[in-house]
Structure 1
Amino acid sequence: MNRAYQLALNYLSRALRTTEEVRRYLIRKGFKDDEIEEAITKLIELGYLDDKRYLENYLASSKMQKYGFLKVKLKLLQKGINPGLLNDLNFNEDEEVAKAKEILLKKYKYLEPAGYAKYYRFLLSRGFPPSVVQKALFLTDNMDNG
């Protein structure tokens, strides 16, 4: 257990990680399940491993500002965040529409009506729900015409 704990601690010293990321790391290093669980339990007790804190930092990071709610949620699930923690996330449609509009205008300086499908796909690929994409496109279209 001591070696698993030390390796996990070293892994955590480089970046904040989820419990699942640490577990996968220790599995790759060849540790047994009981050693892994013991090391993880100790790290949690000492406050070195905290998925809730990881979630808060991840959401606040600037790189997540260029993605929609759905993409952020998917990335967090891939990192092993407990789906129960994700249920507490607030989805604010107005904020998402504003973010989608900002991302769209940053990527495409001039929006052409013929490019509507391209803009729609782009925003969907960034993790915005269809309802948000439609509102963002409608608002940017009105902004250009009004």
Structure 2
Amino acid sequence: MKRGSPFDCSLRILALRDHSEAELKRKLKEKGYEEQGIGESVARLRELGLLDDARFARSFASSAVRNGRGYGGRLKLELARRGVEAGIVSEVLAEISEEFSESELLAGMIARRYAGFDPATATDKEKRKVVGYLQRKGFSLSVIFRQLNGHGCPGE
């Protein structure tokens, strides 16, 4: 159901949270606005600095990492699903890897999700469970095994 101009609707959508350009276009299209009106609104929002895929990607990635929702490959996938260009995604992932210590993030995720987990005494099943969880969060196997190094991780 359309209410007002696509620009006004865009402002209401962006007031709730930042969006990528592709997300905003999709939402406006779902609400029944025409392509021309959507394009004009998006261009105006970009000119006003209210719509910026790079800013959105940085904010999304930083929040996801701080809240333990993902890292690396997971972030790349999530940003791509939201329509952020590959070049921007690469830049943001490089910034994130400089800003956050991967080993500290891994240790924090393990401590939060699996309190008391000790790779030295864990069974193979427990280790596989932890490794699978960390892989789903976007960490590579090499990084995970390096973190758990010397503790008989599966696949070593």
- How many residue pairs get matched? 138
Q: Which residues of structure 2 form unaligned runs of 5+?
A: none
Tell me, yes or no, if structure 1 residue 45 matches structure 2 residue 51: no
Partner of 2:80: 77
For 1:119 and 1:82, the matched residues in 2 are separated by 32
Q: Tell me how far 1:98 sits from its aligned partner.
A: 2.4
Q: TM-score, normalised by structure 1?
A: 0.84
Q: Tell me how far 1:44 sits from its aligned partner.
A: 0.5
Q: Tell me how far 1:82 sits from its aligned partner.
A: 1.1
Q: Which residues of structure 1 form unaligned runs of 5+?
A: none
Tell me, yes or no, if structure 1 residue 136 matches structure 2 residue 125: no
Contact 1:16–1:54 (CA under 8 A) maintained in structure 2: yes
Q: CA RMSD in A?
A: 2.1
Within 5 Å, give how 1:77-116 maps onto structure 2: 77-88=80-91, 89-90=93-94, 91=97, 95-111=101-117, 112-114=121-123, 115-116=126-127
Q: Tell me how far 1:15 sits from its aligned partner.
A: 1.1
Runs of 4+ in 1 over 3 A off after TM superposition: none
For 1:33 and 1:10, the matched residues in 2 are separated by 19
Q: TM-score, normalised by structure 2?
A: 0.79
For 1:73 and 1:96, the matched residues in 2 are separated by 16
Q: Which has the higher helix share?
A: 1
SS at match of 1:138: coil
Sequence identity (%): 24
